[in-house]
Chains A and B, each alone.
Chain A
Amino acid sequence: MLLLAPIGLRAQLDPVSLAFRAYQAKDLGKAKELIETAVGMQPYDVQARTWYFKAYIYKDLYKEDRNAAGAQNFRDVAINSYFKTIELDDVKEFSEDSKQSVRFLANTYYNDAAAALELDNFENADKLYNEYRNYSIKLNPEIDFRARDIEFKLYVASKYSFIFDAADMNSKPKDVSDKIVQLYKQVLGIDSNNISANYNLGIHYYNQGVNIIENIDYNDDFEKIMQLQIDVVELFNSALPYMLRAHLLDPSRKDSIRGLSGIYYGLNNLEKSEEYQKKLEELELREQQGQ
């Protein structure tokens, strides 16, 4: 709801009120032009009401057509004008409404980031998410963003994983793999106890090893096969600590137990592999028995 008071006699001289009149007449273009004049004039440039109204006009311009070429810019101007309103609003006349609007607009960045990810537009998604993040933190510096950051990074990693898994076995993109590793490690940097990041990173390393093995040709020479085996062992060794951590964090999670059995098997530690295989079978038996 727009909080501007009805226009009085001063409307003739007050550029903010003139802008308001244009706004009421649904002429957003004229309202924009007039409010831009107002924010460049003293004393209106330091009045909260001027910036609040500017924010309102730009928010409406953004909402008018969110997909228009200038929409992103309108949103940026609106959100920054709301912040300017809050800064100047000594009597707290517009602050609460401005905060609500910032929250609304910030959330549109988040939604746009999600939409960009659906189209695999990672760069734009990252930029939009950071806008959402920065505006949210600017509004509330006390906010704990860790959970949201983790959620975003896990989602991006899973989107990259989808691309990686779908790629031809002979040409798995290394840059995508590096991104996946980087994202999971970033999540673990925020929360080393995140089970999904530990598990998924373990699986990513393991699957890369398996991809190499699947690609080895019987015509490859012996030296090459032996070198590839060293590479595979390195990947399985990289997978192990993350899978162990995932298992430690949730000992009843079957996927992690299955993962450990597979990794140890790949590392030719049959004793350990069987130990986890037994654990898995016991767990499944207990589930069947309803325990």
Chain B
Amino acid sequence: MSFSQATMNTMNTRAKFKSLFIYNFTKLTEWPESYKQGDFIIGVVNDVDLAEQLELAAKTKKINSQNVVIKKINSTADVSKCHVLYVSGSTAGEVDPFIKKAKDFNCLIITEGKGLAENTSAINFVIVGSAIQFEMNKSLFESKQLIVGNSLEKLATKVIN
């Protein structure tokens, strides 16, 4: 009798959870009228795994009846009108140039860095007890004319008004 060694399943677990969260953020957020037509664009800065995971979902899912388009962004020059802008980077210095470039768009800014929900992004991923959670800054939703439901607020670990 000879036993076989178990095989490890491979998948980017973090990317899947983040993409699930992002899709759910979009379900609970309302964009201005002018953003309710055409493609629903999600810009992803410097996170190929997340972009690919989102692309996978975009093949079968729509957001608010709009087709979903994932745009991989590597430089500030690539930033254009979008509904969601996820910016990878742990400090304000890393993410600010991209966010500034998107200042004229009504886009939901999402980051993942300590304290970035304070002044930088409407939603900031944080790790709590090994799980991905999020903080939200309501004023940064409002400044982009995005209406956010109460249910999202209830799920956030921290809400900044």
B16 pairs with A223, CB closer than 8 A: no
Contact with A along B12-51 (1 / 0, CB 8 A): 0110110011011001100000000000000000000000
Chain B, interface size category, equals 20 to 34
CB-contact partner of A151 in B1, B23, B130, under 8 A: B1
CB-contact partner of A265 in B14, B21, B23, under 8 A: B14
A200 pairs with B6, CB closer than 8 A: yes
Residue of B nearest to A148 (CB): B1
Contact with B along A202-229 (1 / 0, CB 8 A): 0110110111011010111111011001
Candidate in B11, B13, B14, B23 with the most chain A CB atoms within 10 angstroms: B13
Given that A209-B13, A266-B13, A269-B130 are contacting pairs, would A151 and B7 also be in contact in the complex, using a CB cutoff of 8 Å? no
CB-contact partner of B20 in A161, A209, A225, under 8 A: A225
Chain A residues with Cβ below 8 Å from B20 are: 216, 218, 220, 225
A222 pairs with B155, CB closer than 8 A: yes
**B131 CB within 8 Å of chain A:** yes
A89 to B141, CA, bound (A): 93
**A237 CB within 8 Å of chain B:** yes
Chain B residues with Cβ below 8 Å from A232 are: 13
A155 pairs with B2, CB closer than 8 A: yes
Interface positions of B from 109 to 155, Cβ below 8 Å from A? 127, 129-132, 151-152, 155
Residue of A nearest to B129 (CB): A233
How many A-B pairs with Cβ below 8 Å? 96
A230 to B24, CA, bound (A): 17
**B77 CB within 8 Å of chain A:** no
Chain B residues with Cβ below 8 Å from A262 are: 8, 10
B14 pairs with A268, CB closer than 8 A: yes
Residue of A nearest to B4 (CB): A158
**A102 CB within 8 Å of chain B:** no
Interface positions of A from 224 to 279, Cβ below 8 Å from B? 225-226, 229-230, 232-233, 236-237, 255, 258-259, 262, 265-269
**A199 CB within 8 Å of chain B:** yes
B3 pairs with A199, CB closer than 8 A: no
CB-contact partner of B5 in A223, A255, A267, under 8 A: A255
Chain A, interface size category, equals 35 or more
**A114 CB within 8 Å of chain B:** yes
Given that A158-B3, A199-B5, A225-B21 are contacting pairs, would A210 and B11 also be in contact in the complex, using a CB cutoff of 8 Å? yes
Given that A213-B16, A268-B131 are contacting pairs, would A222 and B5 also be in contact in the complex, using a CB cutoff of 8 Å? no
**A101 CB within 8 Å of chain B:** no
A216 to B60, CA, bound (A): 14
Given that A207-B6, A207-B9, A210-B9 are contacting pairs, would A229 and B1 also be in contact in the complex, using a CB cutoff of 8 Å? no
A162 to B23, CA, bound (A): 34
A152 to B127, CA, bound (A): 42
Given that A218-B57, A268-B131 are contacting pairs, would A225 and B24 also be in contact in the complex, using a CB cutoff of 8 Å? yes
A265 to B14, CA, bound (A): 8
**A196 CB within 8 Å of chain B:** yes
A203 pairs with B2, CB closer than 8 A: no
Chain A residues with Cβ below 8 Å from B4 are: 158, 161-162
A200 pairs with B9, CB closer than 8 A: no
Chain A residues with Cβ below 8 Å from B5 are: 158, 196, 199-200, 255
Residue of B nearest to A110 (CB): B1
Given that A151-B3, A225-B24, A268-B131 are contacting pairs, would A216 and B8 also be in contact in the complex, using a CB cutoff of 8 Å? no
Chain A residues with Cβ below 8 Å from B1 are: 114, 117, 151-152, 155
Q: Please provide the 6 A-B residue pairs with the shortest distance between their CB atoms, ordered closest to farther.
A: A203-B6, A154-B3, A158-B3, A155-B1, A200-B6, A210-B9
User: Which residue numbers of A lie inside 8 Å of B, CB to CB?
Assistant: 114, 117, 151-152, 154-155, 157-158, 161-162, 165, 196, 199-200, 203-204, 206-207, 209-211, 213-214, 216, 218-223, 225-226, 229-230, 232-233, 236-237, 255, 258-259, 262, 265-269
Besides the contacts A200-B6, A213-B16, what 12 more A-B pairs have beta carbons closer than 8 Å?
A: A155-B1, A199-B5, A204-B6, A207-B8, A210-B9, A210-B13, A213-B17, A218-B20, A219-B61, A265-B14, A267-B130, A268-B127
